[in-house]
């Protein structure tokens, strides 16, 4: 199924209700269009905020090479050039992953979408935040929250919820990407 989803240029997963979902990659990577479902503004709203980066494995540039048609090879390049990001190439230089070769990519658009998706996945996997908050039934994976924290210098920073773990009276968001 994962190989089939890759061929369809989609992400595949089970949702909270156990339904199998197949979502086009371009919808998955458009985080800026997702609504903010909750905002944590005070330190007493949250505890245990932890930001971490695996700097040895950080990637901020991805190259995807697709199939060749009429002498033209489809190629997509995605770079983290957001100067607000601590992982952008302007701050740490280019960190390029091994090129991804996929003969199922049959157009320039598909190659670019795949490069952007892969870059997002690499950044999310190598940088995360953990936060402990009170139970909130509105929080779901793949949605955005805002966090303001004086210690880390965060002012309404957007974070994507990657996973959630429940305890008796608290909810622990195990991984966020901001």
Residuewise pLDDT in 10s, the chain (178 residues): 888 887 777 888 887 778 898 888 777 767 777 788 888 876 667 777 777 777 777 889 999 999 888 888 999 999 998 887 777 888 888 989 999 998 888 889 889 989 988 888 887 766 677 888 877 888 877 788 888 877 777 787 788 787 777 776 555 555 555 5
Task: Name the residue with tokens 């039934």.
Answer: 137
- Its pTM stands at 0.66
| Among the listed residues 2, 24, 116, the one whose alpha carbon sits nearest the alpha carbon of residue 61 | 116
DSSP assignments along 96-147, one per residue? BPPPEE-TT--SHHHHHHHHHHHHHHHHHHHEEEEEEEE--TT--TT-EEEE
């Amino acid at each position: 199924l994962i190989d089939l989803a890759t061929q369809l240029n989609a992400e595949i997963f089970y949702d909270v209700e156990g339904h199998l979902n197949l979502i086009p990659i371009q919808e998955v990577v458009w985080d800026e269009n997702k609504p903010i479902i909750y905002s944590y503004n005070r330190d007493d709203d949250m505890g245990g905020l932890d930001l971490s980066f695996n700097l040895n494995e950080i990637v901020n540039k991805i190259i995807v090479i697709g199939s060749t048609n009429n002498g033209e090879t489809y190629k997509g390049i995605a770079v983290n050039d957001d100067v607000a990001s601590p992982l952008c190439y302007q701050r740490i230089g280019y960190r390029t992953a091994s090129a991804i070769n996929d003969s199922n990519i049959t157009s320039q658009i598909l190659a670019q979408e795949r490069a952007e998706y892969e870059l997002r996945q690499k950044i999310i996997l190598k940088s995360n935040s953990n936060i402990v908050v009170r139970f909130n039934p509105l929080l779901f994976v793949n949605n955005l929250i805002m966090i303001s924290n004086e210690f880390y210098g965060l002012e309404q920073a957007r974070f994507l919820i990657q996973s959630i773990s429940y305890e008796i009276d608290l909810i622990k968001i195990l991984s966020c990407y901001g």
